[in-house]
Each structure stands twice: as structure tokens, then as C-alpha cells.
Chains A and B, each alone.
Chain A
């Protein structure tokens, strides 16, 4: 099973840091700084999970998720909203999507590991 984690995030310092961090904890990061590239990348190079920032332009994380789930009909690809926006939990609860989670920035290594393992299981 692939250990590819796609990080859709427009903040360069976070991309840089996460690149190192994800590798360090045994994953293979795919960095996507432009959200418009992300959907094509999902199709051409499917990841095991997407870490998705919310506040992005020109398309925000929610819109991306909507497109992914309905337009591209990819419903069982785990997506973790990786966000500094507060109170997204309520909205997530309403969506009742079993493959959707959230990690509040800033996230520590143990929190990140736990969040990923929730969907991907512990690495062998």
C-alpha cells in the first residue's frame, strides 16, 4: 500500500516543514502548492490520503472536497482538513463523511501521527 500523502497547502514554510516531517515519520509527501493542480494529481498519481488546507485561493478546501467527492466521485479517499480555521468540527460533523477528519494547526508530531494512523493504520 502506498504511503503517499498529498499535502494541498499554499503556505510555503509549512510545505517545507511538512516535507521533512512526513518523511521523518515514514510517509512519502506529495506537495501541491496550487489547489488547481490537485485534482489532476489525485487522478494521475493517487495518494493514500490528502492533507487539505482550507483557506486557499482561488478554490478553498471545502470547494476542493466537494469537487473531489461529487464531480470526481472519489468518495473513499481519506481527506484530513489541515487548518488553522477554528470551529470546522461542527461543519464536518454535519457532512457525515467517514473518510473525513481534521487536524488543527499547529499540530505536533504525535498528533499528526495519530491523525494519519486513524485512516491508514500503523506502519508495519
Chain B
């Protein structure tokens, strides 16, 4: 049986509808004529009635509905003729009526069965033809293909006719695939999900999934699913994974590919980081590894990944490893395409140790600050009687009977007490600055009046020849009081490290488009060797007993404090100097408003 025969309907007889209609009509008319003749002659009237079954059965067979029409027509004609000739014999009339009813009953019975047969056939045909599965029937002895649908033929670029001439065993891509199939077929007469490769007409490979079962003696029905796309995707996936693996294997950074929140790939570093096995990681949600207390923040962060412009900056999160250890990771993310879909490449730098050290340093600093505060208190308390008594004696030297040279000694003592008091205050200032706990009180104000105030308060005009070049229009933004102390420190140093005739210049410059103010203080003092430029800003660097430190001891902590204050403003202090010619300290202060964390 050929498939094209199946398509036109194996149960219908040859010929077009019109031809059949003519045949039925002719047969019916012949029956009516024969029947009329036999009634008229009175011979064989009962037998001729049986002739009507020929057109009725034929019509019902061709089309169940037409069969009924023909039966009804024949029944009417037969009754009319019968009544006409047999009237008024009651036996004949009953017999004719019974015969006419029988026509319709027979037609109805045939129509009923034909309808059922045809709808079953239709169903079978529909399934076979429209199936997305390839379907074929083959002989289980020689594997010749008995029947195939279009889908199977098209899968391998054959026509149905071409497939029908083939043997299934010749269609496998390789002898190995063939023997695998034979092995499986020998073991299981009914099976599903046998994946193999068939050869297409051009010899190319086609991955298929076969399921088969015996439907009758010698015949096996086999459904064929094309799984080429899936196999290709799997292969691509494997290739990609291999690439990722090679690229990321040696990286100390944890590298993940996350899609819709789920981990698609994780490198060995992440495995080591969370201490779970790769199987426990892949497919899991990344959030499953985040410490519960940190989850809300993480979810907010990960929601941004899908956005067109995700967060550029790294963010730190706490993870919990399999052993329950809390680890800190700094996350960097990038949008990538993975398997044709958007995904996020997540880099995690393990900063657990760094965080621990930072915490330790923070604690140590807090402790140090506590010590400094206590020490300052203890140092200041005994200074009070010394300062008080010195003040007392000097306030009324004559009254206390103090001679002029003794008074000078007492004055030197007072200077030292003052200096010690200042050093202790600076030490405290610095510890507050370094703890980051100091809050700036910022405002925008003109620079020139501030500089004038500093000069007046320190009576600098009496100590040096001053050149000030600051336009009145210059406005700066910052903590006025703190900047006052910075300028005062720099000017005091300029005085302290130069000998008369002192020349001190205060200059302002900032080009158009420059984002910083530059305020320079230049002296003609002793200067600073270049290799000491950075150390002069370091606290307690000057107490290391070198010649230089003795020379600069009066610097104390003022430069460290000044540097810290300017840094809090988002600026910096730089120094240029030539030994024995002078130094220039420049404050670089941002023009834009200062944003600082409390």
C-alpha cells in the first residue's frame, strides 16, 4: 500500500463523484423500470424488488448520506408502482410497504457503519499526516520501510517515495549507530527515548529520538523526533562552559554567570569561597549563599543588574559558607549574553581577610584614641598648677619680690608650658581628625577677609614683610574656622622657619575651568630637602632624633592637622621648596560643594 493511496482514501472506489452519481441514477432507474415491468406482467415482482439493493448499497457505501437519499427515492418509487398494480390486495400492499421500509433500514445500517469506518480512517489519516512526529512503519525482519509520513521524509530531506524504497538500517549515520540500534532493538521490542543519529539525503547528520513498538506481526511502528536543535544547543552550551572553565579556572576571583538569579556557571574560586561542591552550586540562586541579614540589600542590588545601566561600583556582601563561616565578598557585575539570553557576569573578590584586618585596625585606632584622650587628660591636669603659679608670679613680680633675671627664667618656663599645652591640644585634634568623627561646618565665604583675619590675629605684619594677592571676588566653600587654623599653621611655620628679614607671600590662582582653588604661602626660610616633603606631613615623624627633626621640631603636628583638614574638604596640600631659599605650601581646595560622609 502506498502513502498516496492512503491520502485519497483506501476505502473509496475509483471514479469521480459525478461518475458515481450517474452510475447510481442509472442503476436506480433500471431498477424502477424493471420493477414496473414485472408488476405490470405480474411475474417475479418479489425478486425484482431485491434489485433495488444494488444502487442503495452502492450509494450508501460511497456516501452514507447519499445512500439514505437513494434508499428513500427507491422506496417511494417502488411503493408507488407496487400500490398502482397491486391495489386493493391487502397482502400485497403490506408486503410492498415492508419491502420499501427495508430499503431505508438497510441504507441506514450501511451508512452508520460507513460513517464510523470513515471517521476512524479520517482520524488516523489526520494524525499520520499532520503529526509533528516523524512516523514510519518497518518490517522487523529486513527493516524495509513500509510506510512513512511527510514529516519523517522531510527530516532527512527525502521525499516520501524515496524513503519508501529504503531500509531503515541503511539510514543510520555510522555503523556504530546502527549496531547501537540493533543491540537495543534486539533487547526491547517496545522502547522510547533512543537517541541516535541518522544520515540525511546529503549525508549530513540528524539527531533523532526514536520510540518504537510492534503493532502487528512483522510490523513495527516507530516515531521519530528531531532533536538536532537541542543537541546543538547542548553542544554549544558545553563549548561555552568549557571556554568559561578554561578562562576562569586559575582566577583568584570568584566568577559566576547568573541568569534570572540562578547560577549557571561558577569557577573553582567560588567553589572554594562558599565551600559547596559545583553540583550544589549550579542551578541554585545566588541569594541562597548570602547571609540572611544581608539579603534585602543584596536583592535590591541584584534587581539593578537587569537594568540597562547597572551599578558600576562594587558592593560588599556577606556570604555564609557551607561550614557556616561568614565571608565578605566585593561584587562587580557586567551584563553578558549567555546561551543567547541576557545574563550577569558576577565577579566576587574575597575581602574577608581585608575586612577582618580593617575591623582590627578600626578597633586599634579606637583604642589608641581612647589612650590619647586619657593621656591628654593626665598630662594637662598637672600643668594646671604650674601654669597657674607661673601666671601668679609673673602677674605681680614686684609683689613677690622677683628680680628681673628670675622673671625672664619664669617667662621661659611659661613659654614651655604653653608649648606643651599646644602640643597636647594638637595631639587631641589630630586623633579626632584621624578618627573621622569631626564634622565640618561648611559655608561659602570670601577668601580675602579670612586671610586678613588670620594675619591680624597672628600679628604677622609685625613679623614679616607681607605680599597678599587675593582678589576680593574670590569665594571659597569650606569650614571657615578650620581653614582659619590651616592658614594660621602655614603662616606660623613660614615665620618660624625663616630669619629676618622675612618675606611672606600669599597668592591665589585658579584658571578658568579649573575645579580647584590654589592658595599658596611662600616664605624665604630654610627650606625643606625634597626627600622630606612627605614626612613633614606625618604625625610624630619629627621626634625620631635626626638632625632634621631637631631643626623642624617646632612644626609639631600642625602640618598633619592642616593636611587632614584640607583632605576632609576633598583637597590636598602640596609643597615646593629649595633648601636655604624658601618653601611654598599650596592648599588645593575643590570649588564644588563638598560632599562628605558623617
Provide the residues of chain A in CB contact with B382, threshold 8 Å.
Answer: 13
A-B contact count (CB 8 A): 64
Does B380 belong to the interface (CB within 8 Å)?
Answer: yes
A85 with B388: CB separation less than 8 A? no
B395 with A106: CB separation less than 8 A? no
The residue from A16, A24, A86 contacting B385, defined by CB atoms under 8 A apart = A16
How big is chain A's contact interface, by range? 20 to 34
The residue from A20, A24, A55, A105 contacting B383, defined by CB atoms under 8 A apart = A105
Chain A positions 59 through 103: 1 when the CB is less than 8 Å from some CB of chain B, otherwise 0: 000000000000000000000000011110000000000000000
CB under 8 Å from chain B, chain A span 1-54:
11, 13-14, 16-18, 20-21, 24
Provide the residues of chain A in CB contact with B389, threshold 8 Å.
Answer: 17
Provide the residues of chain B in CB contact with A108, threshold 8 Å.
Answer: 387, 391
The residue from B380, B388, B391, B395 contacting A84, defined by CB atoms under 8 A apart = B380
Across the two chains, which residue of chain A brings its CB closest to B429? Answer: A86
CA distance A20 to B386 in the complex (A): 13
Does B171 belong to the interface (CB within 8 Å)?
Answer: no
B392 with A84: CB separation less than 8 A? no
Provide the residues of chain B in CB contact with A84, threshold 8 Å.
Answer: 376-381, 384
Does A114 belong to the interface (CB within 8 Å)?
Answer: no
B428 with A106: CB separation less than 8 A? no
Does B407 belong to the interface (CB within 8 Å)?
Answer: no
Across the two chains, which residue of chain A brings its CB closest to B380? Answer: A84
Does B421 belong to the interface (CB within 8 Å)?
Answer: yes
A106 with B384: CB separation less than 8 A? yes
Does B432 belong to the interface (CB within 8 Å)?
Answer: yes
A21 with B392: CB separation less than 8 A? yes
Contacts A20-B392, A109-B395 hold; do A87 and B428 have CB atoms under 8 A apart?
yes
Does B225 belong to the interface (CB within 8 Å)?
Answer: no
Chain B positions 383 through 415: 1 when the CB is less than 8 Å from some CB of chain A, otherwise 0: 111111101100110000000000000000000
CB under 8 Å from chain A, chain B span 454-473:
none
CA distance A17 to B385 in the complex (A): 6
CA distance A86 to B427 in the complex (A): 11
How big is chain B's contact interface, by range? 20 to 34
CA distance A86 to B378 in the complex (A): 11
The residue from B386, B391, B428 contacting A86, defined by CB atoms under 8 A apart = B428
Provide the residues of chain B in CB contact with A109, threshold 8 Å.
Answer: 388, 391-392, 395
Across the two chains, which residue of chain A brings its CB closest to B373? Answer: A86
Does A120 belong to the interface (CB within 8 Å)?
Answer: no
A86 with B392: CB separation less than 8 A? no
B421 with A106: CB separation less than 8 A? yes
CA distance A106 to B396 in the complex (A): 20
Q: Give B397 Cβ to nearest chain A Cβ, in Å.
A: 13
CA distance A107 to B392 in the complex (A): 12
Contacts A55-B377, A84-B377, A87-B428 hold; do A13 and B385 have CB atoms under 8 A apart?
yes
CA distance A21 to B384 in the complex (A): 11
A106 with B377: CB separation less than 8 A? no
Q: Give A58 Cβ to nearest chain B Cβ, in Å.
A: 18
Does B417 belong to the interface (CB within 8 Å)?
Answer: yes
CA distance A107 to B417 in the complex (A): 11
Provide the residues of chain B in CB contact with A24, threshold 8 Å.
Answer: 392, 395-396
Across the two chains, which residue of chain B brings its CB closest to A24? Answer: B392
The residue from A20, A55, A85, A107 contacting B384, defined by CB atoms under 8 A apart = A107
Q: Give B181 Cβ to nearest chain A Cβ, in Å.
A: 87
B395 with A105: CB separation less than 8 A? no
The residue from A14, A18, A20, A86 contacting B381, defined by CB atoms under 8 A apart = A14
Q: Give B375 Cβ to nearest chain A Cβ, in Å.
A: 10
Contacts A24-B395, A86-B428 hold; do A106 and B376 have CB atoms under 8 A apart?
no
CA distance A121 to B450 in the complex (A): 31
Provide the residues of chain A in CB contact with B384, threshold 8 Å.
Answer: 11, 13-14, 17, 84, 105-107
Contacts A84-B376, A106-B421 hold; do A21 and B391 have CB atoms under 8 A apart?
yes
CA distance A13 to B379 in the complex (A): 14
CA distance A106 to B392 in the complex (A): 14
CA distance A119 to B99 in the complex (A): 139
Q: Give A54 Cβ to nearest chain B Cβ, in Å.
A: 9
Across the two chains, which residue of chain A brings its CB closest to B379? Answer: A84
Q: Give B420 Cβ to nearest chain A Cβ, in Å.
A: 9
Chain B positions 262 through 284: 1 when the CB is less than 8 Å from some CB of chain A, otherwise 0: 00000000000000000000000
CA distance A17 to B391 in the complex (A): 11
CA distance A104 to B386 in the complex (A): 15
Across the two chains, which residue of chain A brings its CB closest to B376? Answer: A86
A85 with B395: CB separation less than 8 A? no
Provide the residues of chain A in CB contact with B428, threshold 8 Å.
Answer: 86-87
Q: Give B202 Cβ to nearest chain A Cβ, in Å.
A: 87
Provide the residues of chain B in CB contact with A105, threshold 8 Å.
Answer: 380-381, 383-384
CB under 8 Å from chain A, chain B span 333-390:
373, 376-389
CA distance A67 to B381 in the complex (A): 25
Provide the residues of chain B in CB contact with A86, threshold 8 Å.
Answer: 373, 376-377, 428, 432
Across the two chains, which residue of chain B brings its CB closest to A13? Answer: B385
Q: Give B440 Cβ to nearest chain A Cβ, in Å.
A: 14
Across the two chains, which residue of chain A brings its CB closest to B396? Answer: A24
CA distance A109 to B428 in the complex (A): 23
Q: Give A102 Cβ to nearest chain B Cβ, in Å.
A: 13
A17 with B377: CB separation less than 8 A? no
Contacts A84-B377, A84-B381 hold; do A106 and B432 have CB atoms under 8 A apart?
no
Across the two chains, which residue of chain B brings its CB closest to A16? Answer: B385
CA distance A68 to B245 in the complex (A): 74
Across the two chains, which residue of chain A brings its CB closest to B432? Answer: A87
Across the two chains, which residue of chain B brings its CB closest to A21? Answer: B388
Q: Give B432 Cβ to nearest chain A Cβ, in Å.
A: 7
Q: Give A120 Cβ to nearest chain B Cβ, in Å.
A: 19
B373 with A14: CB separation less than 8 A? no
Chain B positions 413 through 447: 1 when the CB is less than 8 Å from some CB of chain A, otherwise 0: 00001000100000010001000000000000000
A106 with B373: CB separation less than 8 A? no
Q: Give B436 Cβ to nearest chain A Cβ, in Å.
A: 14
Chosen A-B contacts, 19 in total, with CB atoms closer than 8 Å, are: A14-B384, A17-B384, A17-B388, A17-B389, A21-B392, A24-B392, A24-B395, A84-B376, A85-B373, A86-B376, A86-B377, A105-B381, A105-B383, A105-B384, A106-B384, A107-B384, A107-B388, A109-B388, A109-B395
A21-B392, A105-B383, A109-B388 known; 4 other A-B pairs, CB under 8 Å?
A14-B384, A84-B378, A86-B432, A108-B387
A-side interface residues toward B, CB under 8 Å? Answer: 11, 13-14, 16-18, 20-21, 24, 55, 84-87, 104-109
| Leading 10 A-B pairs by shortest Cβ distance | A84-B380, A106-B383, A109-B391, A106-B387, A106-B384, A17-B385, A17-B388, A86-B428, A13-B385, A84-B377
